Amino acid sequence: MSKLRLIAGLYALALLGAAALNYIPGLTDAQGRAFGIFALDIYDDSLHLASAIWAATAAYLSARSARIFLFYFGLLYFGDGLLGLITGSGYLDLGIINYGILDLPFGFKILANLPHLFLGGAAIVSSYVFAKEAR
């Protein structure tokens, strides 16, 4: 199995885990925030589940499909994280539409958007580092 396919498969598992956060007892606080930071809702859960299906399908199909997934997923999630840092709301979960610009402490914005920035950035880098496998 190529590294690209393996990485896409690991993304599928991570995204399934993110989709399941709200449903694992003890991981959310009284306000419904996972780890006391992320207030995940049905939009977030749907986004993570759809992304997991996309990642798993790409990993199953081919190294080329995995590379395409990693590149575009990375662009979408990293961009969402950047918007979240600037406005407090992302676009992938429709937060910018549903909640608008939020006045949140910058430290909180960093913690809340770090997963999308990290996952998106790592996906983009992986799509370039292992690009030869997709040929």
**pLDDT single digits (tens) 42-79:** 888 899 999 999 999 999 999 999 999 999 999 999 99
How many C-beta atoms surround the C-beta of residue 66 within 10 A? 30
Prediction pTM value: 0.89
Q: How many CB atoms neighbour CB 135 within 10 A?
A: 7
Residue 86 lies in a domain: yes
Count Cβ neighbours within 10 Å for each residue of 83-104 and write b for 16 or more, e otherwise: bbbebbbbebbebbeeeeeeee
Does the residue 123 lie in any domain? yes
**7-36 average pLDDT score:** 82
Cα–Cα distance list, 26 to 21, 32, 41, 83, 114 (Å): 10, 10, 17, 30, 22
Q: How many domains does the chain have?
A: 1
Q: Would residue 135 count as lying in a domain?
A: no
Return the DSSP state at 28: B
- Integer Cα distance of 113 and 70 in angstroms: 18
Instruction: Note down the domain range covering 29.
Output: 3-129
Asked if the structure places residue 99 within a domain, the reply is: yes
Does residue 35 fall inside a structural domain? yes
The answer to whether residue 134 is domain-embedded is no
104 lies in some domain: yes
Question: Which residue, among 107, 75, 105, 104, has the nearest Cα to 91 in the 3D structure?
Answer: 75
Residue 120 included in any domain: yes
The share of the chain scoring above pLDDT 90, in percent, equals 70
